[in-house]
Structure 1
Amino acid sequence: MNTPPLSGGIEGPAALRPLLTTVLDALYDGAVARSGPLPAGGPWHTAARVRAAVHPVLPPTGTGAEEALRTLVTAVTEGAADPADPHCAAHLHCPPLALATAADLAASALNPSMDSWDQAPAASEIETLVTAALAAEVYPQHPAADALITTGGTESNQVALLLARELHGPVQVVCGANAHHSLHRAAWLLGLPEPVAVPAPTGTMDLAALDAALTDLHPQLLVVATAGTTDTGQIDPIPDIADLCDTHGAELHIDAAYGGPLLFSPTHRPKLTGIDRAHSVTLDLHKLGWQPAAAGIVAVADPARLHPLGHTADYLNADDDTEAGLPDLLGRSLRTTRRPDILKIAVTLRALGRDGLADLVDRTCARATELAQLTEQHPEFELYEHPTISTVLLRPTTADDETLATLRRTLLTEGRAVLGRARTPDGRLWLKATLLNPHTTTGDLTTLLKLLEGSTPR
């Protein structure tokens, strides 16, 4: 048996080229077979098809690269929930740009490991430059601001809490009832007290309740505001929260995993006014940034805040190597081995520029506004509120919560639409459309409403 070729080196591209043709053909064939936003038939039907394609997982004799790629990529594609379909709009799960995906291929082919300079000479320098540029978007008045690359919002929030704990001891986290669940998990993981959840009766943090909580609690406080909530996409009143933090001597972290890319748009950036007053900020470019996962970021105004992450492993960052000028990468992450996720981000920033990114943000937000308007004008649907970013909550006027949940599952099982569900502070259940596809058209939105109209029991 011939030894399979590798993806790197001079011979790597030639080895990859025919395989990429197979993969691209399988992606096409799988999408045609699926013919919708997700496979019809529900979990059992999808599982049966996948089992048939995968069996046997480890055959006595291999089937060869072409057959294995064609069979399994086709099966995964046919059984995918495809965020590029305009009716796949349940979650903060974006359709990645083709150019970002192509860059990710290069990252996989070269396989740099971002834990020591001698494994990633060029990639580590790109990461240094791009993280500084992204930090400058958040903190334009702080020339030394820095950022780390993470696996997403969950890890970024965890790092932010860790840095606060290392600086101040066992901080008490104070967040809104609208905050992401990762904050509670991070507090548990780090041995911190359970976060105090401030009411958010309108979907954003209640300022009077926050003031009262900060008055009653001990002084080592970390307030976490949210810029783009998971359920409704709302943004907490950042300037007012920052003022309260100043008054009470509390630190501020902002979870802008969803809303952070609004910074790229002159039209929408004012929604994040005051974000630069936070000590740390979470961003996530595999949400409203059109990157393949993972593409998380945690930015800090003061780079000294990152010092507790410093760590020495003699085989990776020996003191004499560092003193001789080899960059020390271990303090750039909680992880050791990690991919160069920065490459796809760097390619996207360079290819699109500020204007191109702003256009994507503006077009996506405009489609959400349009869906809200269509819903409001439709006699058979009710709108929760006009979107802050790109999340729209709607429901048929005649449906109760049980009917609504059944309607959502029916559309999933039939493979016709992927919509989320959200329960608002008033206790009502809503269908959630999280629009992240800038190519969505008015016709797509109208068709989505017709699908819902036709599936709602009379």
Structure 2
Amino acid sequence: MTSTTTGSLYDPAGTAAGLENVRSLVNLALDVLQEVAADRGGPVAPGGAHGAREAAAKALVEPLLPEHGSAPTAVLDDLVRSYAQWSVDLTHPAALARMQPPPTASGVAAELVAATLNQSLHAWESGPFALDLDRWVISQLAGLVGYGVGAGGTLTAGGSVSNLMALVAARDETLAVKLGRSVFQEGLPALGVQPVVVCPEGIHFSIGRAARVLGIGEDHVVTVPTDAQGRMIPAEADRILTELPADRVAVALVACAGSTDLGIVDPLPELAEIARRHGVWLHADAAYGAGALFSDELRGMLDGLAEADSVTLDLHKFGWSPASSAALLVRREETLLPFGLSPTTCLSADDDTCAGYIGSQNTSLQTTRRVDALKIAVTMRTLGKERLGAMVDTCHGLARHAAARIAAEPRLELFVDPPLTAVLFRYLPADGLDVDAFNGKLRRRLLEDGRALLARTHVEVDGRSRVFLKLMLLNPDTTPAQLDAILDELLAVAAALEVELGD
């Protein structure tokens, strides 16, 4: 058994000596990242899925827990180098596939501090200042969406978790009001009714998954028809809620507030009025669309957001904070009570609570929980409202530029003008080639070559689900000229692929 020169069995980060070790090791890691960045030729290393697996197999030969440890400098150099070589370079203009913006340097530094101090939010003695910081960030975000006094919320691991928690609160609050019964004490079978979730066609997949997890079942997710712009039709939502039989109780009306493909925002004011009239919880999924709140030009898209009972938002999308930086906000803090603990646990003694020693274990699915509030606060205070709004507007402008270029190309088809920053399009190959299969192969060819990272999605065209490619513009440092070069490259690769497949 060996020990460090300080006499410790390991190298704790928080001591004076440990902080110096952190400084040295971080510098080493940053040197490796700079070396890898200097060798990059595209947004990802060429080789595609096979190349990535092969690289991982070579790098991960040693066991996770060897009999004897190694010097941290050697371990870091080995694993960080391999990790970086096959990471997506989010700063590259051709990294256009996913909702992963390059985070701010200040947010990354805050993440290091959070990891070094390793606070948690479940009990006061696990993170005294962290708890107040967390509550302050939630309060500030609640004000951002338009909530007033009495609002609450929690930071989460992402939009899917936020949506799940929103449906838990919706289910339990609505059934408690309508039936006078407690779901989280009695369970669903004892209530004798079938909960129903109502949402528009094309809602994010996490809503259906949440219905499965909650025991509601996907068969009881009722979809509302949408108009020509893809927005939920309020009159149809009203009709569906009115016609539900007595043994089927709608617990949530879920609205899009910026869908991930098309940026669709459902008519929130009208839906809020309908939800109130039927006694149904209105949840707004603004995980992506909440970025419009930062923009003077786009903010009007989200009129009525504050009328929702709960809102999902992700600041690791349109907020440039390192993942995960997501939140569930609720108009009334007490509606998070289903996540509360029994008063008999070691984390919730009444006398401690009365004295102000209060953790956040009653507002989250998690007990031990990292302090995401620090990087959010540092990022937002560093950027400020004016610069953050300019970043959103710049990305929106890039999307409009890409859309105009695509619309002008005879071999490309634009699906719709982008209301936010997602641009959907497809390549139209020569007759005899299947359009869907071709676009899928075109995307993979670009991935394998490491030239560009594009997403793919499926949208309905003439009653059929068709493959479309997607550009996600979340890097405000990208230039229109760089976008043009990426589309030129795509057209060249597509033309070569047509020849190859036509032979």
TM (norm. structure 1) is 0.95
Matched, 1:410 2:445: yes
Matched, 1:145 2:175: no
Amino acid at match of 1:351: T
Aligned to 2:269: 239
Residues 37-436 of structure 1 mapped to structure 2, 5 A cutoff: 37-57=43-63, 58-140=65-147, 142-169=148-175, 171-193=195-217, 194-200=220-226, 202=228, 203-217=230-244, 218-311=248-341, 312=343, 314-398=345-429, 400-426=435-461, 427-436=465-474
Aligned to 2:191: none
3-state SS of paired residue (1:331) = coil
Deviating more after overlay: 312-321 vs 364-373: 312-321
Amino acid at match of 1:128: R
Amino acid at match of 2:222: V
Q: 1:70 offset after TM fit, Å? A: 1.1
Matches of 1:156 and 1:280, distance apart in 2: 9
Matches of 1:201 and 1:406, distance apart in 2: 32
Amino acid at match of 1:55: V
Matches of 1:45 and 1:325, distance apart in 2: 54
Residue 32 of structure 1: which of 28, 32, 38 is its match? 38
Matches of 1:423 and 1:107, distance apart in 2: 39
| Residue-by-residue CA offset, 1:95-153 (whole Å, 9 max, x unaligned) | 2111111100100000001100101001101011111010011124x222222111111
Q: Is the 8 A contact 2:131 2:359 kept in 1?
A: no
Matches of 2:364 and 2:275, distance apart in 1: 28
Amino acid at match of 2:240: A
Matched, 1:446 2:484: yes
Q: 1:219 offset after TM fit, Å? A: 5.0
| Residue-by-residue CA offset, 1:421-445 (whole Å, 9 max, x unaligned) | 1111222221111111111111220
Matches of 1:405 and 1:227, distance apart in 2: 28
Matches of 1:348 and 1:271, distance apart in 2: 24
Q: Is the 8 A contact 2:170 2:251 kept in 1?
A: no
Amino acid at match of 1:391: A
Amino acid at match of 2:448: T
Amino acid at match of 1:405: G
Matches of 1:66 and 1:199, distance apart in 2: 58
Matches of 2:275 and 2:40, distance apart in 1: 51
| Residue-by-residue CA offset, 1:22-41 (whole Å, 9 max, x unaligned) | 11111122233442111211
Q: Is the 8 A contact 1:219 1:250 kept in 2?
A: no
| Residue-by-residue CA offset, 1:192-245 (whole Å, 9 max, x unaligned) | 243112234643323443233222225544110011212222222222322332
Q: Is the 8 A contact 1:371 1:392 kept in 2?
A: yes
Q: 1:90 offset after TM fit, Å? A: 1.2
Amino acid at match of 2:92: D
Amino acid at match of 1:347: V
Aligned residues with identical type, % of pairs: 38
Matches of 2:234 and 2:199, distance apart in 1: 11
Amino acid at match of 1:67: A
Q: Is the 8 A contact 2:121 2:359 kept in 1?
A: no
Q: 1:247 offset after TM fit, Å? A: 4.2
Q: Which has the larger radius of gyration?
A: 2
Matches of 1:243 and 1:383, distance apart in 2: 35
Matched, 1:12 2:39: no
Q: 1:302 offset after TM fit, Å? A: 1.2
Q: Is the 8 A contact 2:174 2:281 kept in 1?
A: no
3-state SS of paired residue (1:382) = strand
Deviating more after overlay: 24-33 vs 38-47: 24-33
Q: Is the 8 A contact 1:164 1:171 kept in 2?
A: no
3-state SS of paired residue (2:425) = strand
Amino acid at match of 1:257: A
Closer/same/farther in 2, CA of residues 97 and 390 from structure 1, 3 Å limit: same
Matches of 1:6 and 1:441, distance apart in 2: 44
Q: Is the 8 A contact 1:139 1:145 kept in 2?
A: no
Amino acid at match of 1:26: V
Aligned to 1:2: 3
Amino acid at match of 1:212: R
Q: 1:308 offset after TM fit, Å? A: 2.5
| Matched positions, count | 457
Matches of 1:156 and 1:433, distance apart in 2: 25
User: For structure 2, which runs of at least 5 residues remain unmatched after alignment?
Assistant: 5-9, 176-193
3-state SS of paired residue (2:402) = helix
3-state SS of paired residue (2:460) = coil
Q: 1:59 offset after TM fit, Å? A: 4.2
Q: 1:267 offset after TM fit, Å? A: 1.5
Q: 1:182 offset after TM fit, Å? A: 0.9
Matches of 1:47 and 1:69, distance apart in 2: 20
Q: 1:313 offset after TM fit, Å? A: 5.6
